[in-house]
């Protein structure tokens, strides 16, 4: 079963998205990280035949153009709310990773009425005291790959993959939009933490135990700020569990969806 490409206009700007299992319920909406949606598709294929899967290219990422109104992370969250309302998605299982996890948190703080559950994986957005993040913008492309996964052999395989001109263009666009949303302060909304108590849907915080971008202390603090949340740490895993350990991640996500 393959994803079908679709397009929806949000606030006057087209948003490209992929859909799998359109006739199935419940629905899982996946919000990708800074690298875009493409690398998460094999992980999401594990839910084929079980769930309706919707994977948008966030505004300014992938095949979705950069709209004039996109200035900050809050704009991205409101765009996702409009996307959900335009498709009339209800009892939705929202899953976000890294940058997408941050957007999912901002979205749920504002309006969680259409959500059945929330899962965030290595989410940006908060800071636990003085514990530093890695600096995605200072790492070279090769260093970025090596630091985002725990397994050096996997990093070598990723670096050996050929890249088409289209993929190179998309990677550059993704990096530009990430900088626009996350440059200053780095991957952080100083106002987010004080409103996380508003998220009252079942929330699962998943973190790679060897995450070098947002160390595991970020996950522990985030789980402590979300009422009634669950924290799952993935041993031997860096910042990209959907790439590094997709089967284990699918099991964790699937269990949460079924329990919600």
CATH of the domain at 200: 3.40.50.1820
Are 192 and 105 spatial neighbours (Cβ–Cβ below 8 Å)? Answer: yes
Range of the domain at 195: 4-259
User: Per-residue confidence at 1, pLDDT binned at 50, 70, 90?
Assistant: confident
Give the chain's count of helices (H) and strands (E): 9, 8
Mean residue pLDDT across the chain: 97
Question: DSSP secondary-structure letter at 11?
Answer: T
Are 186 and 99 spatial neighbours (Cβ–Cβ below 8 Å)? no
> 105-108: which pairs have CB atoms within 8 A and are 24 or more residues apart?
105/192, 105/196, 105/199, 106/73, 106/74, 106/76, 106/77, 106/189, 106/192, 107/77, 107/80, 107/81, 108/198, 108/199, 108/201, 108/203
Q: What is the mean pLDDT of residues 86-108?
A: 98
Read off the pLDDT of each residue in 179-188 and give the average, rounded to a whole number: 96
- Distance separating alpha carbons of residues 169 and 187, to the nearest angstrom: 23
Provide φ and ψ at 136, rounded to 5°.
-55, -30
* Pairwise CA distance, residues 105 & 47, whole Å: 23
Phi, psi of 5 (to 5 degrees): -85, 135
Domain count for the chain, please give it.
1
Strand bridging mode 203-208 / 115-121: parallel
pLDDT tens-digit readout, 142-179: 999 999 999 999 999 999 999 999 999 999 999 999 99
C-alpha to C-alpha distance for 207 and 215, rounded to whole angstroms? 9
């Amino acid at each position: 079963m393959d994803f079908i490409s679709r397009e929806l206009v949000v606030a006057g700007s087209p948003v490209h998205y992929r859909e799998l299992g359109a006739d199935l319920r419940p629905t899982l909406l996946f919000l990708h990280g800074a690298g875009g949606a493409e690398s998460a598709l094999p992980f999401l294929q594990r839910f084929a035949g079980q769930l309706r899967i919707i994977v948008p290219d966030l505004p300014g990422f992938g095949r979705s153009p950069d709209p004039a109104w996109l200035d900050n992370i809050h704009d991205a969250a409101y765009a996702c709310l409009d996307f959900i309302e335009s498709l009339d998605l209800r009892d939705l299982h929202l899953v976000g990773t890294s940058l997408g996890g941050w957007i999912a948190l901002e979205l749920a703080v504002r309006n969680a009425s259409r959500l059945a559950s929330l899962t965030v994986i290595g989410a940006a957005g908060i800071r636990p005291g003085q514990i530093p993040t890695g600096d995605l913008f200072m790492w070279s492309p090769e260093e970025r790959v090596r630091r985002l996964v725990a397994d050096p052999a996997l990093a070598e395989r990723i670096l050996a993959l050929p890249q088409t001109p289209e993929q190179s263009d998309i990677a550059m666009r993704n990096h530009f939009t990430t900088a626009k949303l996350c440059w200053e302060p780095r991957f952080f909304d100083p106002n987010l933490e004080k409103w996380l108590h508003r998220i009252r849907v079942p929330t699962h915080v998943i973190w790679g135990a060897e995450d070098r971008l947002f160390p595991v202390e970020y996950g522990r603090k985030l789980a402590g700020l979300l009422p009634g949340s669950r924290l799952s740490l993935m041993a031997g895993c860096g910042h990209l569990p959907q790439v590094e350990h997709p089967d284990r991640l699918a099991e964790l996500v699937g269990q949460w969806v079924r329990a919600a």
